[in-house]
């Protein structure tokens, strides 16, 4: 018999029911109440509120979890490698997922490339595009998955890099980029939304600017895919890179590189593709050219179900839900005189649901641990984006980042907000 918990009437289902360490946990879920639950054997456990969805979304939809098991059981063959039914079945699933992703991002099916994460996709794009002596314009809000490849290429190929700061308006941001252009500018790389502040960057206007100088726009959509609409066709000559395990709700180990119009990349990895195996050179057709080695069929099937989930909820509804929770937390930060919101302009339509703040006298990691003890999972530190923290004045101690997801509830955000007010 399930133990009685304060706040849960006998004979009625508990408010909160989850699994922890293989055991069922009963707990109250009302904001402001203790987030202590009980396992079936009576042990007390802390119920975790997961507000670290910018790192990876959790939990995943049930269909995604089921897909992982189903893929192992039913898609065990190596896609594109054999003519038997097992291989053909796996290959058909991969193709259907590729087609589904293409429709989701308004791209051509063969131009959707499966990768292991967004970092790999960005590396493939930048190292495949940039040649000796090229000039790149990027922003100060980028992740190390952009900065580090560019740093390596500066040493290896002598490329040069300029860094644009975001402006108060979209037009001002675009102007900051344009002022840095040179006759050798061949690539503009920009995050769609900052993983530190949540600020949305004007990628469509940057794409229009790139058309004028015939540059390629590389977009880091790790924080935007699934919460903001992305139309590859409208971006023109571009490469859109994203993770499959964040706002698309697939498993970790999944990512996408999506090519726009008239984009030609050299390869950074060569090997078996299952096609034209009699030739020494890498295939020159898509997607084979960029998919060497056995694909992550298990992850790809989970991504397929993740895309279904996002489509069923709709990007607009997901954004509205998650931003409503993020705004509750942002307002709590504003009400605490000890805290500083990294981007004071944080708001609906200008940011994705990523809220970061600093404390006047305490380390961000200390705050993160305090929230963890309260049952709230957040990310504290520099978030692999050093120039962003320099721009926001948070380099010394880092910042605390809170990022709600599709499965978070208003009551959870209210509880988080209450804890934030007390920091």
The answer to whether the CB of 214 falls within 8 A of the CB of 129 is no
Does the pLDDT value for residue 16 go beyond 90?
A: no
75: confidence class by pLDDT, cuts 50, 70, 90: confident
Distant-in-sequence, close-in-space partners of 356: CB < 8 Å, separation ≥ 6:
196, 197, 198, 341, 342, 343, 383, 392, 394, 399, 400, 401, 402
Alpha-carbon span 50 to 356, nearest angstrom: 15
User: Which of 43-57, 67-81, 239-253, 347-361 shows the lowest mean pLDDT across its residues?
Assistant: 43-57
The answer to whether the CB of 308 falls within 8 A of the CB of 326 is no
Tens-place pLDDT, residues 356-414: 999 999 999 999 999 999 999 999 999 999 999 999 999 999 999 999 999 999 999 99
Strands 49-50 and 44-46: unpaired
Amino acid 80: pLDDT: 87
| CA separation, residue 321 to residues 8, 195, 325 (Å) | 27, 19, 7
String of DSSP letters for 139-152: ETT--HHHHHHHHH
* Average confidence score pLDDT of the chain: 91
32: confidence class by pLDDT, cuts 50, 70, 90: very low
Does the pLDDT value for residue 21 go beyond 90?
A: no
Amino acid 76: pLDDT: 85
CA 416: distance to chain centroid? 22
Alpha-carbon span 130 to 115, nearest angstrom: 20
Q: What is the DSSP letter of 4?
A: P
Residue ranges per domain, the chain? Answer: 1-47, 48-59+314-421, 62-312
Residue with the larger pLDDT of the pair 229 and 87: 229
Name which of 285, 402, 295, 335 is nearest 81 in CA terms: 295
The two three-digit tokens of residue 190, written as one number: 């920009």
Scored b (16 or more CB within 10 A) or e, 173-205 reads: bbebbbebbeeebbbbbbbbbbbbbbbbbbbbe
CA 41: distance to chain centroid? 38
Name which of 183, 187, 263, 250 is nearest 222 in CA terms: 250
Alpha-carbon span 378 to 20, nearest angstrom: 19
Domain 48-59+314-421 has CATH 1.10.3210.10: no
Respond yes or no on whether the N-terminal peptide bond of residue 354 is cis (omega within 30° of 0): no
Helix 297-313 / helix 85-105 crossing angle, nearest 10 deg: 40
String of DSSP letters for 336-383: -TTEEESSTT--BTTB-S-EEEEESSS-HHHHHHHHHHTTEE-EEE-T
Domain 62-312 has CATH 3.40.50.2000: no
HSE (CB half, 13 Å, CA atoms) of 40? Answer: 8
Kindly state the percentage of the chain with pLDDT values over 90.
85
Q: Can you tell me the mean pLDDT for 172-191?
A: 98
As beta bridge partners, residue 340 has: 358
Amino acid 2: pLDDT: 35
The two three-digit tokens of residue 83, written as one number: 């003519």
Name which of 386, 345, 378, 375 is nearest 359 in CA terms: 378
């Amino acid at each position: 018999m399930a133990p009685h918990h304060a706040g849960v009437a006998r004979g009625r289902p508990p408010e909160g029911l989850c699994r922890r360490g293989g055991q069922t946990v009963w707990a109250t879920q009302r904001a402001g109440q203790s987030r202590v639950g009980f396992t079936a054997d009576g042990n007390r456990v802390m119920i975790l509120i997961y507000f670290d969805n910018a790192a990876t979304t959790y939990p995943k939809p049930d269909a995604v979890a089921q897909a992982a098991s189903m893929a192992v059981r039913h898609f065990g063959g190596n896609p594109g490698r054999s003519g038997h039914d097992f291989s053909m079945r796996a290959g058909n699933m991969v193709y259907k997922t590729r087609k589904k992703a293409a429709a989701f991002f308004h791209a051509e099916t063969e131009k959707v490339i499966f990768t292991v994460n967004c970092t790999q996709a960005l590396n493939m794009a930048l190292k495949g595009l940039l040649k000796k002596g090229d000039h790149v314009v990027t922003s100060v809000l980028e992740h190390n998955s952009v900065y580090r490849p560019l740093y390596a290429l500066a040493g290896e190929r002598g490329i040069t890099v300029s860094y644009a700061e975001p402006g108060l308006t979209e037009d001002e941001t675009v102007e900051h980029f344009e002022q840095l252009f040179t006759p050798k500018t061949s690539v503009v790389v920009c995050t769609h939304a900052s993983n530190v502040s949540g600020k949305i960057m004007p990628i469509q206007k940057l794409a229009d600017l790139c058309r004028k100088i015939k540059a390629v726009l590389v977009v880091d959509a790790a924080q935007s895919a699934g919460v903001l609409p992305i139309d590859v066709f409208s971006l023109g000559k571009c490469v859109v890179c994203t993770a499959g395990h964040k706002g698309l709700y697939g498993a970790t180990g999944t990512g996408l590189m999506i090519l726009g119009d008239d984009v030609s990349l050299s390869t950074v990895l060569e090997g078996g593709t299952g096609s034209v195996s009699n030739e020494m050179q890498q295939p020159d057709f898509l997607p084979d050219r960029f998919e060497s080695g056995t694909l992550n069929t298990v992850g790809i099937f989970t991504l397929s179900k993740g895309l279904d989930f996002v489509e069923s909820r709709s990007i607009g509804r997901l954004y509205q839900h998650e931003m409503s929770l993020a705004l509750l937390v942002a307002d709590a930060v504003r009400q605490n005189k000890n805290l500083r919101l990294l981007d004071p302009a944080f708001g609906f339509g200008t940011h994705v649901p990523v809220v970061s703040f600093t404390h006047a006298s305490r380390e961000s990691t200390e705050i993160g641990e305090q929230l963890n003890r309260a049952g709230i999972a957040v990310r504290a530190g520099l978030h692999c984006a050093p120039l962003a923290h320099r721009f926001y004045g948070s380099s010394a101690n880092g910042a605390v980042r809170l990022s709600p997801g599709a499965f978070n509830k208003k009551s959870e955000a209210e509880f988080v907000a209450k804890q934030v007010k007390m920091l």
